[in-house]
């Protein structure tokens, strides 16, 4: 999905050629899995972080093109909305101080980006859903100028044949219709990449599916959308609905959605790519000149361009990826369930939890996914998204248990075990997992803090829009300190009633 796409509609011939090439790529991929040397000697990890630009009063700032031009940094790219950026962090090993090295790299990159954003009266915030967004900000005219987003928007709406409906019930109830996929731009995520060998891929993907609910519960950071308090991680429901290509009739027939948890445990990465081709019609029919079978027979590394592009338009929460680096092919799991933020160190703690747990669970002699139905993992995922850090989940040999208790009693020791296998420095391991432990003990993650702050401001007479702006201003201040969210105070200085709607400088102080 990172490639540039400029054309609009596709001809019937282009669509037919693309379908043929996708299936040819799938056949070649099967051959490669049987008889090819994938790069897996030293498994690398990677990160992507989606970011928001805000102006001086913490409204979305539609300046990503200006900021990117000023930065001239290939590590930063556009995302769907003009108020979005994406930071692609170079891959590395997490052994020894790798997690700390990630922290330093990301902090320095964000500082540089904020320096350039300031020239356009903007700043960068990492948060799952920007709480000051309104429907007026998520309209087709605010999509990034990059052609692939506009083509994707047109194709999804063409396939759907009608406007997209959003219907999310939480503390409040949001129900609205939109004429584009632009509301998806509200979803800004943190994505973990883990390189794995072909023979190990199924174990790591299955383990990632098992863990998705726990990750979302403890890392939730998206309680508000369009002024409504909805799920603890509203991003999950919003993303599932904002890119849904199915009209009601196809939903009733059981047609699968393009944002998809899945429906079964797998035995090979091929299962997932084959499902993509079997269940999901192409959206972007861009064909490459390469004949992947000819390249394979001649001993080369096929790009499998059509298969990879198609895979980029099926939005699994744990996505399978085939990629090529330095001329060598590799496979990786992309874990996409978490929101961005609240701080860099919080994200590194989330990374330690994921990488440690997925390693430990994937190596078990009797894997957890052999002890639970797949539907239970999906139920855990959505329960965690709705209820957040105190969500109940079902766990093998235990039954129903709250996520903090599950982490404290069972999973944090397993995460430490997995990080030890990766060779992570013990002091760094304990510090990162200690942040997760304290979130569990305090019950405060990003979502809980946001809700507590807004509620307190509303109790003092502030309207919801003003309370969210004040909360977001305080959020930005604390985010830049890079102290874990469980330490963030809920208390704020409340100005006297006569000064509550003051100058822009006063608003920035809150």
pLDDT digits (tens, 9 = 90+) for 178-192: 888 888 899 999 999
Nearest one of 30, 33, 130, 121 to 79, comparing CA atoms: 130
Please count the other Cβ atoms lying within 10 Å of the Cβ belonging to residue 442: 17
Ranges 50-59, 146-155, 295-304, 450-459: which has the least confidence: 146-155
Q: What is the pTM of this model?
A: 0.94
Looking at the DSSP bridge assignments, the partners of residue 401 are 393
Average pLDDT of the residues in 179-207: 94
Average pLDDT of the residues in 461-480: 96
pLDDT confidence tier of residue 5, bands split at 50, 70 and 90 = low
pLDDT digits (tens, 9 = 90+) for 116-129: 999 999 999 999 99
Cβ–Cβ < 8 Å for 219, 445: yes
The answer on pLDDT for 4 being more than 60 is no
Please count the other Cβ atoms lying within 10 Å of the Cβ belonging to residue 120: 15
Cis preceding linkage at 342, omega within 30: yes
pLDDT confidence tier of residue 3, bands split at 50, 70 and 90 = very low
pLDDT confidence tier of residue 60, bands split at 50, 70 and 90 = very high
Give 370's DSSP letter.
G
Distance CA 241, CA 181 (A): 9
For the chain, list the domains and their CATH numbers: 12-488 (3.30.590.20)
Burial code (b: 16+ CB inside 10 Å, e: under 16) for 494-503 equals beeeeebeee
Q: What is the CA radius of gyration of the chain?
A: 22
């Amino acid at each position: 999905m990172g490639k540039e796409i400029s054309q609009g509609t596709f001809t019937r011939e282009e669509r037919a050629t693309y379908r043929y090439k996708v299936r040819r790529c799938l056949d070649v991929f099967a051959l490669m899995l049987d008889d090819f040397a994938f790069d897996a000697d030293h498994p690398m990890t990677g990160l992507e972080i989606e970011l928001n630009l805000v102006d001086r009063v913490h409204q979305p700032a539609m300046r990503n093109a200006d900021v990117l031009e000023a930065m001239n940094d290939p590590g930063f790219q556009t995302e769907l909305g003009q108020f979005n950026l994406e930071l692609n962090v170079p891959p590395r090993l997490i052994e020894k101080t790798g997690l700390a090295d990630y922290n330093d790299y990301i902090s320095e990159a964000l500082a540089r980006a904020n320096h350039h954003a300031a020239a356009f009266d903007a700043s960068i915030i990492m948060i799952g859903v920007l709480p000051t967004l309104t429907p007026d900000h998520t309209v087709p005219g605010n999509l990034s100028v990059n052609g692939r987003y506009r083509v994707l928007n047109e194709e999804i709406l063409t396939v759907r044949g009608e406007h997209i409906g959003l219907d999310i019930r939480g503390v409040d109830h949001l129900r609205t219709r939109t004429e584009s996929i632009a509301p998806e731009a509200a979803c800004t995520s943190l994505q973990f990449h883990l390189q794995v060998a072909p023979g190990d891929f199924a174990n790591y993907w299955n383990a990632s599916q098992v863990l998705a609910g726990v990750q979302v519960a403890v890392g939730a950071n998206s309680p508000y959308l369009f002024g409504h308090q909805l799920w603890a991680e509203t991003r999950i429901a919003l993303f599932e609905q904002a890119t849904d290509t199915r009209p009601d009739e196809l939903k009733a027939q059981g047609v699968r959605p393009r944002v998809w948890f899945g429906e079964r445990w797998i035995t090979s990465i091929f299962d997932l790519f084959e499902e993509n081709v079997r269940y999901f019609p192409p959206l972007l029919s861009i064909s490459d000149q390469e004949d992947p079978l000819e390249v394979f027979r001649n001993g080369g590394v096929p790009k499998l361009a059509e298969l990879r592009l198609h895979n980029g338009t099926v939005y699994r929460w744990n996505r399978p990826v085939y990629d090529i680096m330095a001329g060598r092919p590799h496979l990786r799991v992309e874990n996409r369930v978490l929101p961005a933020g609240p701080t860099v160190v919080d994200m590194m703690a989330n990374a330690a939890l994921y990488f440690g747990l997925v390693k430990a669970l994937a190596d078990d002699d009797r894997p957890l996914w052999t002890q639970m139905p797949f539907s239970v993992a999906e139920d855990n995922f959505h329960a965690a998204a709705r209820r957040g850090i105190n969500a109940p989940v079902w766990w093998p040999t235990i039954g129903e248990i709250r996520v903090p208790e599950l982490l404290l009693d069972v999973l944090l020791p397993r995460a430490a075990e997995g990080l030890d296998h990766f060779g992570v420095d013990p002091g760094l391991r304990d510090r990162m997992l200690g942040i997760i432990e304290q979130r569990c003990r305090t019950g405060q993650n990003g979502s809980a803090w946001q809700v507590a702050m807004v509620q307190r401001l509303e109790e003092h007479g502030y309207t919801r829009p003003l309370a969210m702006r004040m909360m977001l201003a305080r959020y930005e201040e604390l985010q830049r300190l890079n102290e874990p969210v469980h330490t963030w105070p809920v208390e704020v200085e409340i100005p006297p009633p006569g000064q509550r709607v003051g100058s822009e400088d006063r608003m920035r102080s809150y």
